[in-house]
Amino acid sequence: MIIAALFPEFEYGHAQLNKFVESAGFFTILLKSGEIIHFSPERPEEFREWLHIHKIVAIKAGN
């Protein structure tokens, strides 16, 4: 379980993140600043868990 403020190879800390949507291991993330970024981690399941641990809201596709 990864609970660090930063995820390896990801330049943003959890406190900067607002919401995310994932498709096939590719993450589109809305930052609190309003900027939208994309991230394709080597281990998407670990990144998804890291987001969940830090209570980053998942946007369901189609909403």
pTM of the full structure: 0.88
8 A C-beta contact, residue 44 and residue 25: yes
pLDDT value at residue 4: 82
What's the pLDDT at 21? 97
What is the residue extent of each domain of the chain? 14-58
Give the span between the Cα atoms of 31 and 21, in whole angstroms: 12
Work out whether strand 36-39 and strand 57-58 pair parallel, antiparallel, or are unpaired.
Answer: unpaired
20-45: per-residue pLDDT in tens? 999 999 999 999 999 999 999 999 99
